[in-house]
Structure 1
Amino acid sequence: MFFDLVFVFAITQISHFLLAHFTVQGLLQSAILMLAVWWVWVYTSWITNWLDPEQTAVRLMLFALMALGLLLSTSIPKAFESRGLAFGLAFAAMQVGRTAFFTYSVPASQAKLKTSFLRILLWLSASGALWIAGGLLHGAAQLGLWLTALLIEYVGPVARFWVPRLGASSTTDWSVEGGHMAERCALFIIIALGESIVVTGTTFAEIDWTVTTMSSFAVALLGSIAMWWIYFHIGVHVGAERISHSSDPGRLARLAYTYLHLPIVAGIVVTAVGDELLLAHPDGHGDVKATFGMIGGPLLFLFGVLLFKQSVHGRWQLSHLAGIAALVLLTPFGGLLSPLLLAAAATAILLVVGAWEAISLGVGDRSPIE
Structure 2
Amino acid sequence: MAAGRGAGLLRPPRSSGRATFLELFFDLAFVVALTRVSQRFAGLSDDTGWALVTGFGRTLLLFLALWLIWSHTAWITSRYEPERPIIQAVVVGTMFAGLVMAVTLPRAVEERALPFTAAYLLVMVVRPLVVAAALRGHPRRLVPFRLAAWSAASAPLWLAGALGPDHLRLPLWVAALAVDYLAWALGWPLPWLGASAVGRWRIAGTHLADRYQQIVLVALGESILVIGVVFSGTNYSAQRAAAFAFAFATSALLWRIYFHRAGLLLAEAFGRAGMPGRLGAASERTHLLIVFSVLVTAVGYELVIDDPFGPPRPGWLLFVVGGPVLFLAGRMRLEYEIFGRAPRSQMIGLAALLLLTPAMVHGTPMVGLSVVTGVLALVALLDALRNRGRPLEISAPPVGREAPGETDSEA
Q: Same fold (TM over 0.5)?
A: yes
Q: Who is 1:355 aligned against?
A: 381
The sequence identity of aligned pairs, in percent, is 33
Of 251, 264, 278, which residue of structure 1 is paired with 2:290?
264
Paired residues for 1:1-370 under 5 Å: 1-21=24-44, 22=47, 23-108=52-137, 110-111=138-139, 113-171=140-198, 173-256=200-283, 258-362=284-388, 364=390
Aligned partners of 1:161 and 1:169 also within 8 Å: yes
Q: After TM superposition, give the deviation of residue 249 of structure 1 in Å.
A: 1.2
Closer, same or farther in 2 for the Cα pair 1:75/1:342, shift >3 Å? same
Q: After TM superposition, give the deviation of residue 363 of structure 1 in Å.
A: 5.0
Q: Who is 2:399 aligned against?
A: none
Supply the distance in 2 between the matched residues of 1:137 and 1:25 (Cα, whole angstroms). 19
TM-score by length of 2: 0.84
The letter of the residue matching 1:7 is F
List gaps (5 residues or longer) in structure 1: none
Closer, same or farther in 2 for the Cα pair 1:264/1:57, shift >3 Å? same
Q: After TM superposition, give the deviation of residue 171 of structure 1 in Å.
A: 3.7
Aligned partners of 2:199 and 2:280 also within 8 Å: no
Secondary structure at the counterpart of residue 195 of structure 2: coil
Supply the distance in 2 between the matched residues of 1:172 and 1:78 (Cα, whole angstroms). 36
- Larger RCO (CA within 8 A; separation ≥ 6): 2
Supply the distance in 2 between the matched residues of 1:158 and 1:132 (Cα, whole angstroms). 23
Aligned partners of 2:286 and 2:330 also within 8 Å: yes
RMSD: 1.8
Deviations 1:298-339 (A, max 9, x none): 111111111122122211111111111111112112232221
Aligned partners of 1:92 and 1:129 also within 8 Å: no
Supply the distance in 2 between the matched residues of 1:209 and 1:151 (Cα, whole angstroms). 45
Aligned partners of 2:186 and 2:197 also within 8 Å: no
Q: After TM superposition, give the deviation of residue 31 of structure 1 in Å.
A: 0.8
Closer, same or farther in 2 for the Cα pair 1:275/1:164, shift >3 Å? same
Supply the distance in 2 between the matched residues of 1:140 and 1:314 (Cα, whole angstroms). 45
Supply the distance in 2 between the matched residues of 1:327 and 1:127 (Cα, whole angstroms). 39
Deviations 1:196-231 (A, max 9, x none): 111110111122222211110100000100011111
Closer, same or farther in 2 for the Cα pair 1:215/1:48, shift >3 Å? same
Supply the distance in 1 between the matched residues of 2:218 and 2:252 (Cα, whole angstroms). 14
Secondary structure at the counterpart of residue 375 of structure 2: helix
Aligned partners of 2:199 and 2:281 also within 8 Å: no
Deviations 1:148-194 (A, max 9, x none): 11111211232122111110113454112221111111111111111
Deviations 1:21-64 (A, max 9, x none): 44211011011011111111000000011232323222222222
Aligned partners of 2:202 and 2:276 also within 8 Å: yes
Q: After TM superposition, give the deviation of residue 364 of structure 1 in Å.
A: 4.5
Supply the distance in 1 between the matched residues of 2:60 and 2:308 (Cα, whole angstroms). 26
Count the aligned residue pairs: 364
Q: Identify the range of structure 1 (235-244 vs 38-47) with the bigger mean alpha-carbon deviation.
A: 235-244
Supply the distance in 2 between the matched residues of 1:244 and 1:128 (Cα, whole angstroms). 37
Secondary structure at the counterpart of residue 175 of structure 1: coil
Supply the distance in 2 between the matched residues of 1:146 and 1:185 (Cα, whole angstroms). 26
Q: Identify the range of structure 1 (87-96 vs 97-106) with the bigger mean alpha-carbon deviation.
A: 97-106
Closer, same or farther in 2 for the Cα pair 1:358/1:114, shift >3 Å? farther
The letter of the residue matching 1:90 is A
The letter of the residue matching 1:203 is V
Closer, same or farther in 2 for the Cα pair 1:172/1:292, shift >3 Å? closer
The letter of the residue matching 2:84 is Q
